[in-house]
Amino acid sequence: MAPSQRTALVVGGAGFLGKHIVQQLLDTGRYNVRVFDVRACGVPGADMALGDIRKLDDVANACRGVDVVVHVATATPTSENALNKQLMDDVNVKGTANVVQACQQLGIRSLVYTSSASVVFDGSDLVGVDETQPYTARPMDYYTETKVKGEQLVLRANSASLAVVALRPSGIFGEGDSVMVPTFVRQAKAGKMKYIIGNGKNVWDFTYVGNVAQAHVLAADKLTIGSELAGQAFFITNQEPIPFWTFTGDMLEGLGYARPHIKLPLLLILFVAMLFEYVIRPLLKPIKELSTDFTVFRVRIVTRQRAFSCEKAKKMLGYVPAVSLSEGVARTVAHFEHLRNADGAAAQHGKAQ
């Protein structure tokens, strides 16, 4: 059993996943929790250390006196920053290097890093792959490239004085999500979510945020220098693969929007995406910055199989998802009630085939 009242620092604890990790660490009763972020966390019971992960001094000051660091902070591609490579490099690579360096300098013995299942995704189908799958040699976007670099940097730091572990969640959703569900709703309101690209049968691993947080707490509890966890990476999912378009439809229908139901040929949409991304957008860039929602990467990622084995996490971490996929969707829909379709007149087109 882990010693009582250890001090955990959650880097990026004011974000979507970070808040859930902070709350679950506090709920164990075994941790004093400190949050390091650029904004307040808002979780009662957690101490706050404001600062910038890009500044080593800020990171080191936040790390003083802690037993375990949980590094969740990441710059993710959104409509606003998808083209901001500098931000992703500064946070996901250089910021991660700062966290590792601070741990090494201050003698912190445990570091849990939030990676991404995308570090092995190269645009090909992935079905039941485990941690022996190599890193992608051709990342599909710059975010993935920086997460590969960040994970490699962390795992290389495993030593006789610092134990590290990397967790690779896939398709995180849940209460507080600022990307997936709001994007679904925004696109639905624009009439863009009625389409299925391809045959609609590609299977995905989506993961409820509470289960991802659960895996982080397990890692924080069990990670010690020289343990079998040290230096390892783990895929974290709900262990309930589901067709991408079925999950999307369940979420949209729960919020009163029509399920995707009109099938479009994959090759045609890929061609249009290439034309838009590599010809039209560059030509118009001097005049107008166009949306980054429609890219080759996004077309590929929503039409490929992406299902991962969690056997390693089950065996070594003791990870068994506490919340089912259906319950996670129900909780998410309830949380986003304010985004419900005003007229509630979702068309009924059945499950995606």
Q: What is the pLDDT of residue 346?
A: 44
Residues 6+ apart with CB under 8 A from 222: 2, 229, 317, 318
Provide the β-strand partners of residue 36.
11, 49
**Burial code of 264-303, b = ≥16 C-beta within 10 A, e = fewer?**
eebeebbeebeeebeeebeeeeeeeeeebeebbbbbbbbb
- Whether the Cβ atoms of residue 118 and residue 151 lie closer than 8 Å to each other: no
- How far, in Å, CA of 216 to CA of 22, rounded? 10
CA angle 349, 352, 353 (to 5 degrees): 115
First to last CA, the chain: 47
Q: What is the pLDDT of residue 347?
A: 46
Pairing of strands 203-204, 242-243: antiparallel
Backbone angles phi, psi at 99, to 5 degrees: -65, -45
Backbone angles phi, psi at 290, to 5 degrees: -85, 160
- How far is CA 33 from its chain centroid? 21
Q: Using alpha carbons, select from 143, 204, 136, 206 the residue that is nearest to residue 171.
A: 206
Q: What is the pLDDT of residue 294?
A: 76
Please state whether 323 falls in left (phi above 0), alpha (psi between -120 and 50) or beta.
Answer: beta
Q: Using alpha carbons, select from 243, 95, 91, 107 the residue that is nearest to residue 163.
A: 107
Q: Is 163 helix (H, G, I), strand (E, B) or coil?
A: strand
Radius of gyration (Cα) for the chain, nearest Å?
A: 20
- Whether the Cβ atoms of residue 53 and residue 47 lie closer than 8 Å to each other: no
Q: What is the pLDDT of residue 291?
A: 63
- How far is CA 278 from its chain centroid? 27
Which pair of structure tokens corresponds to residue 47?
């101490």
Residue ranges of domains in the chain, CATH in brackets: 6-178+205-241+307-323 (3.40.50.720)
**For every one of its 353 residues, what pLDDT tens digit does the chain have, with 9 covering 90 and above?**
344 689 999 999 999 999 999 999 999 999 999 999 999 999 999 999 999 999 999 999 999 999 999 999 999 876 555 568 899 999 999 999 999 999 999 999 999 999 999 999 999 999 999 999 999 999 988 999 999 999 999 999 999 999 999 999 999 999 999 989 999 999 999 999 999 999 999 999 999 999 999 999 999 999 999 999 999 999 999 999 999 999 999 999 999 999 999 999 999 999 998 998 888 877 877 776 656 667 888 899 999 999 999 999 999 999 999 999 999 999 999 999 999 997 764 444 444 44
Residues with a known catalytic role? 143
- How far, in Å, CA of 353 to CA of 351, rounded? 6
DSSP for residue 193: T
Place of tokens 């090909």: 124
CA atoms within 13 Å, Cβ hemisphere of 261? 12
